[in-house]
Structure formats: structure tokens, C-alpha cells
Structure 1
Amino acid sequence: MRGMERFRTSAKTLRANQTSAEARLWAALRGRRLAGWKFRRQHPIDRFIVDFVTLDGKLIVEVDGATHGERSAVERDEGRTRVLASLGFHVVRVTNTEVYENIDGVLEMIARTLRPH
């Protein structure tokens, strides 16, 4: 259980130190503000801590900064997505730039992705 407690502590630290893009998206998602869906932020799933998740909708939203375009990061993200998909989650990725410049479009895409559920 010691490892799990450390994992929860890491998630709590990430919540306290969120990026400005994450803070902006969280302001739009928290409190069931997006079509009544309950989102959690920096939530542990399996061996990962995901940026945002709606457990009922089985949707994970990851906000990627500039470093996620590097080959090693892309490969790591693809592996992470495969594991999360094997657990029944759909993963969508948005960039910091998309959150800053087109938050309405990001929210529309998330809502559209959730509609079939």
C-alpha cells in the first residue's frame, strides 16, 4: 500500500502545481460545467496520473505541452494511450495552444466525444 500512497501524493502535488493551460481547462470542466459531466483532475488510473477524466463517460483528456511533440514523448504517449484504452477509456489529447487560443473548440470536441456515451 505504500506505493499507492506515494502515487496519491504525486497526484495531489500535480493538482497543486497545474499548468496555466490545465487551470484554464479545469475552470471550464469543474463542477459539472460541461453538459453535466463530472470530471476529476490529476486522477490516478492504473500506473498513470491523467490530466482530466470523467469516469462515467470513460473519457480522458490530456493537455500536452511543447515537449510532447518530441519522438520519445510521442512514443511514450502512444504506449500510455494503449494501456488506458485497454482499460476501457477513450483518450483525447489537446495542446496548450489549443486551450489558450480555442477553449470553446476544445470544449465542443470534448462534449461531442462524450455524446455517444
Structure 2
Amino acid sequence: MELGGSKRNLDQAKRLRRELTLPEILLWRELRKLDVRFRKQVPADPYVLDFYCAKAPLVIEVDGEAHGRGDRPARDARRDAWLASKDIRTLRISATDVLRNLDGVMQHILTELGARGSAPSTTG
């Protein structure tokens, strides 16, 4: 599925690509080793997706601690429902898990890709 957005959304995605968090950088480095293509900070108006694999179709969101506070869980649920309405699965991974257990996170992602018929081999 082709995603896109308004000029504002595209500008936000470009900015976020330059400002990845440490967990996003670490995960991106591992995702790039896979045979299946992921894109980072993909505009999908009104949202920007952390990592998106069109072939699967799968979104990986790296959630920091703020995702558990205030209205954030409800906002994330609306976002996930919007993506699901477009037949895109959202896999939410905590930033702490990326930092503490990157191998386990990658195994979880590979399992999800396999379940969606897009199991890659690794090159690294």
C-alpha cells in the first residue's frame, strides 16, 4: 500500500528521520540487515510511522515511556485502528526492550514477518 501525507506531514517525517532516538537507531541498523525492505519515518497522514514494511504490511512502533501516560494510550489505539482499517498490522515494541534485548526484539519481528508471509533471511 502506498502511504503519503500533506506537506506538513512530509516535513515532519523528514525531521524525524534526522532525529532518531537511540532505540530507533539500534533497531534501524538491524532492520536494514534483513532481506525484506523497511522504510523509516514514513508519512501516513495524519501520522508518521517509525518503520514500515509494505510487503508484510507491517508497522513497527518503538514506544518510549511517554506512550503509557496521559491520553497517549488512547491516541495510540486510534492510530493502530486506523492502520488496521487499511490492513496494516502495528507491532509496538518498548524502547526499553530494544535497549535491553535487541536480539529478542528482532526474533519477535522475524516471527511476525513469518506469520504475515514475509519471512526474510538475515545477511548479518
Same fold (TM over 0.5): yes
Partner of residue 38, structure 2:
39
RMSD over aligned Cα, in angstroms?
Answer: 1.2
The one-letter amino acid paired with 1:19 is T
Q: What is the CA deviation profile of residues 47-90 of structure 1, one whole-angstrom value per residue up to 9, with x for unaligned ones?
A: 21010010111000000001111141111100100000101101
Partner of residue 74, structure 1:
73
- Structure 1 or 2: larger helix share? 1
Alignment of 1:46-61 (within 5 A): 46-61=45-60
Aligned counterpart for 1:14 among listed residues 5, 13, 16 = 16
Q: Distance in 2 between matches of 1:59 and 1:74?
A: 20
Partner of residue 27, structure 1:
29
Q: Distance in 1 between matches of 2:70 and 2:11?
A: 29
Partner of residue 99, structure 1:
98
Higher RCO, Cα 8 Å, sep 6+: 2
Q: Distance in 2 between matches of 1:71 and 1:104?
A: 30
Kindly, what percent of the aligned residue pairs are identical? 38
Structure 1 unaligned segments of length 5 or more: list them: none
The number of equivalent residue pairs is 112
Displacement of 1:7 after TM fit? 1.4
Matched residue of 2:71: which SS?
A: helix
Task: Name segments (4+ residues, structure 1) moved above 4 Å.
Answer: none
Displacement of 1:4 after TM fit? 1.6
The one-letter amino acid paired with 1:84 is L
The one-letter amino acid paired with 1:20 is L
The one-letter amino acid paired with 1:107 is M
Structure 2 unaligned segments of length 5 or more: list them: 118-124
Q: Distance in 2 between matches of 1:71 and 1:62?
A: 18
Displacement of 1:13 after TM fit? 0.1
What's the TM-score, normalizing by structure 1?
0.91
